Structure formats: structure tokens, C-alpha cells
Amino acid sequence: MEKIIKKIKDFSELVVFQHSVFALPFIFIAMVVSSDEINGSAWFGFKLFVLGILAAITARNFAMGFNRFMDRDIDALNPRTSNRPNVDGRITPKAMFLFSFANALGFIIVAYFVNNLALILSVPILIIIGSYSYFKRFSYLAHIILGISLALAPIAGVVAVSETIPFWVIMLSTGVMFWVAGFDLLYSLQDIDVDKKLGLHSIPSIFGVEKTMNLSKLFHFLTVIFWLLFVIYSQSSYFAYLAVLISALMLSYEHYLVSKDFRKIDRAFFTVNGYLGIVFLFLIVLDKIFF
């Protein structure tokens, strides 16, 4: 039993399971808004609630597991990542590959039980979120690809409820794309020297710290704009506008933390962004309940 528990902990560390908090709120935001439009109620049903969680977990486990499998050679040369389970021998390459394959299959099965459009989109989604592992080897657009990967979450959410892709969810997803790409730029500042040494194509290693931070600010400004457009086009009300305002303040605080001390990047990356999604979801739910 102890070996099983230890292995579960190793896989949880491999995929940084707690970071699932980034995508989950935006899946449910899309589901709540879509359900309110169609059914006049924010609650979309227990079945879709469970399937939404399973879809988010299996998709992210596949993406992270595949990334760790592909990057094990790079991670071994980076002091920050050299103690990860994919490097130090706790999880073998074969086990990582099987883990990724099992989660990809799980995601497709979950999509089958959601609806036909979800099933049709399941494989293209897996291809997109798996491609991130390759982009950093030849293009600094890898940050955008990561953003697109998480931006698919709200689209998947609305497809699950309505089998459509309305304009407002494109605005919400575009905001998510710039949000994720923006904080990934800040996070990648930690590896600027290693990326230069290994010839990896990150924006910090090519354009430097100052330009990276300015680009991150631009991305997060665009995030707020697109989330504002989401609120407008989804015909949401006061709590939704408050969600956008609080998000803008939290993103500003994130940049303040990083500008003061690069050692606070982890705090800015996980704590601020983790709470941002949860607060956004909470306020959207309140908005659909009371307005």
C-alpha cells in the first residue's frame, strides 16, 4: 500500500496536479453561462459536472505527462527541474508514455459520453495540447501554444452544454489564451540562462527580461479587454463586470510581485493566478443566480 501511495504522489508531482485549478474554473464558467442561456438556470446537471471534471483532469494529465516524457532530456540539464520524477528515475519513460496514453484515451471516452461534437473535437484538442512540447524546440511561439491549450477549456465547456461555439466563448477563450501566455512569459524568466545555453526558443532567451515583462503586460491588458467583451456579449451583469475588475487588479499585483523580486515568480504564478480563476467563477455564478 505504501508503494502505491508513493507512486500516486510521484505521478501527482509529475503533472503538478494542483495546477489543474487554472483550467477548471473556466470550463465551468462557460458551462454556467451556456446553461443559463439555454435552460434559464446556472446549473447544468450533475452528469456534466462530473464529466467536466474528468475531461479537465484527463486532458491536463495527458498534456503534462507527454510534456514531461518529451522534455526529460531538457529537464535533466536544468537545475530547477533536475529533481523531477521524470528525471531522477522515480517514473520511467515507459510509465510516463503509458500514463499519457491512458489519459488521452480517457479523455476521448469522456468526450463520447458528453455529445457528438465533443467526441469529434477530442482528438484535435489532444493534438493541440500535445504540440506544446515540440514548439519550444524551434519557435518562441510556444508560450502562445500553451495559452491556446488552456483556452480550449471554456470552448470544451460550452460544447458540452450546447454543442455550439457562440461568439462570447471565443472572447472568453481568447482572454484565457493571453492570460496563460502572459503568466507563462513571467514563469519562463526563471529559465532564461538555461534556455540560452540549450538553444531553446523562449521569448526571454531571445528578447531579454525587459521586453518579456512588457510583452507579458500587453498580453494581460488584452486579457482584460477580451474578458470584458465576454461579459458584454454574454449579456452578463454587475457581478461579471466585478470579476473582470478584480482580475485586472490581480494581474497588476502579479506584475508588481515579479518586478520587485524574481524569486516571487512562483507566488505570482500559482497563488495569484490560481485564485483569479476561482474568484472569476464564483462571481459569474452569482451573476447568473441573481440577474
DSSP codes, 16-80:
TGGGGGGTHHHHHHHHHHHHHHHHSSS---HHHHHHHHHHHHHHHHHHHHHHHHHTHHHHHT-TT
Residues 232, 91: Cα–Cα separation, whole Å:
47
Which of 20-34, 131-145, 221-235 is predicted least confidently?
A: 131-145
Residues 285, 258: Cα–Cα separation, whole Å:
31
Alpha carbons within 13 A on the beta-carbon side of 273: 27
Distance of CA 245 to the CA centre of its chain: 21
C-alpha cell at 51: 464529466
Arithmetic mean of pLDDT over the chain? 90
- Cβ neighbours around 282 below 10 Å, total: 14
Q: How many residues appear in the chain?
A: 291
Which of 74, 79, 32, 71 lies closest to 234, judged by CA? 32
pLDDT at 118 over 70: yes
Domains annotated for the chain, with CATH where assigned, are 2-290 (1.10.357.140)
pLDDT at 121 over 80: yes
**pLDDT tens profile 51-82:** 999 999 999 999 999 999 988 988 888 888 88
Distance from the first to the final alpha carbon of the chain? 50
Prediction pTM value:
0.93
The residue-averaged pLDDT of 222-233 equals 98
